[in-house]
Amino acid sequence: METPSDNGRDYQALRKKLLASRSLFVDPEFPPDVKSLNPTGKLSRQLSQIGRVEWKRATVSLNLDNLRK
């Protein structure tokens, strides 16, 4: 399994920077946009509604706050 530091990223430095700036990580290789789900642009008619996708983080979609209590 590849870790962020294996991919040329220093995980601890990145984490520290994001915490300091109160920012959330966005993976540059899989950003939350339609091109991540449809890189070729050749979706079928049924999937053309892809613009309606609402991107959520695991803590939001799984409601992990309730699990921490």
For the entire predicted model, the pTM comes to 0.52
Structure tokens at 56: 């959520």
> How far is the C-alpha of 8 from the C-alpha of 41, rounded, in Å?
30
pLDDT by 10s per residue, the chain, length 69? 445 555 556 888 898 999 999 998 999 888 888 778 777 777 766 566 655 777 887 776 566 555 555
> How far is the C-alpha of 41 from the C-alpha of 58, rounded, in Å?
26
Apex 49 CA angle, 43 and 50, nearest 5 = 70
Of residues 9, 24, 8, 14, the one with CA closest to residue 59: 24
Q: Name the burial class of residue 38, with classes exposed (0-12), middle (13-18) and buried (19+) by CB atoms within 10 angstroms of its CB.
A: middle
